[in-house]
Chains A and B, each alone.
Chain A
């Protein structure tokens, strides 16, 4: 491609772009959309069934399982190995005391389905 051809093409491009700019008519309006996803009360823990299957697990294992299951809803749970069961969280408060029937080993029964997650 020689110099003349290049210059001709450039002229044509400039002309076309200019024509497009002149002929385009536009007007804009804007809106702000606000959104959020909030996990609040009464979540069902999907992994609870797995805990029930084992029926008897140690506090330490129980804690780990519940930690894993609650990760999906941004809640961290810590269950102590002492007689007094405690729970804590970063974003939410989790009451898991009803899940533990035995202080040494966690026996999960039907009552354990009562898992509440509250803000």
Chain B
């Protein structure tokens, strides 16, 4: 009799433990769900395409030398430029770092398959940029030719070798 009472008391205690554990598990599950621990995860990704304008040149023009076979001008068209942009109605402007000597001219012509070339543009005093290609739309234009022409008056004095830096800018 005493043993039976003891067994019943132990069973009751075990049942209480099981109930407590179950309640704890249920509460934990609710807590986890409340904290968002599910099998789905989300993130926000911000995207943006900035205005793009890139121009590059390939090669260096050969020296433009007017010598004994004086024809008045000499040209070079061995260099090229490429551009890419995602902006409409862009243009290329050109400028020179220092004016050309008196009696001489430096001219440039940029070809374009997608826009209007301004033809041969005199850069001799173009410290302020001048338009050389206009109306460039979105997209790329690759390996377009750059032509430089150096001209001098017939009565010009000898000019030792000099250099000028020509800057081509793709801009809106």
| Contact (Cβ within 8 A) B79 A36 | no
| Contact (Cβ within 8 A) B53 A36 | no
B-facing mask of A76-116, CB < 8 A → 1, else 0? 00000000000000010000000000000000000000000
| Contact (Cβ within 8 A) A31 B63 | no
Beyond A35-B66, A38-B67, A39-B158, list 14 extra A-B contacts (CB 8 Å).
Answer: A25-B52, A26-B169, A30-B57, A30-B168, A31-B146, A34-B64, A35-B159, A36-B162, A37-B104, A37-B156, A37-B159, A38-B68, A40-B67, A72-B157
A-facing mask of B40-57, CB < 8 A → 1, else 0? 000000000001111111
15 pairs, A vs B, C-beta closer than 8 Å: A25-B53, A26-B172, A27-B55, A30-B168, A31-B166, A32-B164, A33-B166, A34-B161, A35-B66, A35-B162, A36-B64, A36-B66, A37-B104, A38-B66, A39-B67
| Contact (Cβ within 8 A) B170 A34 | no
Q: Pick the interface stretch among B23-31, B112-120, B147-155.
A: B147-155
Tell me which residues across on chain B come within 8 A of A30, comparing CB atoms: 57, 165-168
| Contact (Cβ within 8 A) B169 A37 | no
- Chain B interface mostly: strand
Q: How many residues of A contact B (CB 8 A)?
A: 25
Q: How many residues of B contact A (CB 8 A)?
A: 45
Residues of A at under 8 Å CB distance from B?
23-43, 72-74, 91
Q: Does B65 contact A (CB under 8 A)?
A: yes
Q: Does B87 contact A (CB under 8 A)?
A: yes
Question: Given that A27-B55, A32-B60 are known contacts, is A37 also in contact with B152, CB under 8 Å in the complex?
Answer: yes
| Contact (Cβ within 8 A) B158 A25 | no
Nearest CB in chain A: distance from B75 CB, A: 11
List the 4 closest pairs (A to B, CB-CB), nearest first. Answer: A26-B171, A37-B159, A36-B161, A35-B64
